[in-house]
């Protein structure tokens, strides 16, 4: 059960529900663990907690696989009812104002929330380590290719126009 009913949060003491997630997420090929606190704040639901896991990624420099230790804090706010009527005109969001509109939905999809949080937390440039010295491109006129898919670049002729 990866969907939490809003009415279940409302029934809890202090309107706070604690939820533990421990599942293999196919999209990442890894077990993801999360300790979450879902709290009802009137018109809003606040979800906070920690997400952890060990993801296998491919280094953008050397193309070797490496383990990435995922450890992120999550702090999301959901509006129980549509905000469209209240904020019908455009306005600039400030820090801390981002709210996910549930549009009257009666549940929060935890799996989707964790998936999006992990995707957003991944580094743009995935490098196996600070000392990654491999380079799939030219280096001091020594050209080596670790990945056979890169062989096509060995014989590229670049014409300079001075």
What is the pLDDT at residue 146?
62
Closest alpha carbon to 37 in 80, 83, 76: 76
Opening angle at CA 112, ends 102 and 118, nearest 5: 125
Q: CB within 8 A of 142, min separation 6: which ones?
A: none
Per-residue burial over 144-157, b = 16 or more CB atoms within 10 Å of its CB, e = otherwise? eeeeeeeeeeeeee
For 119-136, the pLDDT digits (tens) are 989 988 888 888 886 555
pLDDT at position 23 over 70: yes
Looking from the CA of 32 toward its CB, the CA atoms found within 13 Å total 25
- Round to whole Å and give the CA distance between 30 and 27: 8
For 100-122, the pLDDT digits (tens) are 666 667 888 899 999 989 998 99
Q: How confident is the model at residue 52 (pLDDT cuts 50, 70, 90)?
A: very high
- Round to whole Å and give the CA distance between 135 and 61: 5
| pTM for the whole structure | 0.69
For 71-85, the pLDDT digits (tens) are 999 988 888 775 555
For residue 123, give the 3-state DSSP assignment.
coil
Opening angle at CA 84, ends 82 and 89, nearest 5: 160
What is the pLDDT at residue 101?
65
For residue 73, give both structure tokens. Answer: 């804090």
What is the pLDDT at residue 144?
52
The total of other beta-carbon atoms located within 10 Å of residue 113's CB is 21
């Amino acid at each position: 059960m990866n969907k939490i009913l809003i009415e279940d949060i409302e029934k809890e003491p202090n309107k706070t529900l604690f939820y533990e997630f421990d599942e293999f997420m196919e999209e990442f090929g890894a077990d993801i663990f999360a300790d979450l606190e879902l709290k009802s704040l009137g018109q809003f639901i606040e979800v906070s907690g920690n997400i952890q896991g060990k993801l296998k990624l491919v280094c953008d420099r050397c193309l070797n696989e490496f383990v990435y230790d995922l450890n992120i804090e999550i702090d999301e706010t959901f509006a129980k009812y549509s905000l469209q009527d209240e904020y019908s005109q455009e306005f600039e969001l400030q820090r801390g104002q981002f709210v996910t509109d549930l549009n009257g939905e009666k549940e929060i999809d935890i799996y989707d929330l964790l998936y999006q949080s992990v995707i957003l937390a991944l580094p743009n440039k995935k490098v196996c380590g600070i000392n990654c010295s491999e380079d799939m491109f030219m280096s001091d006129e020594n050209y080596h290719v670790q990945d056979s898919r890169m062989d096509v670049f060995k014989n590229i002729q670049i014409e300079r126009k001075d």
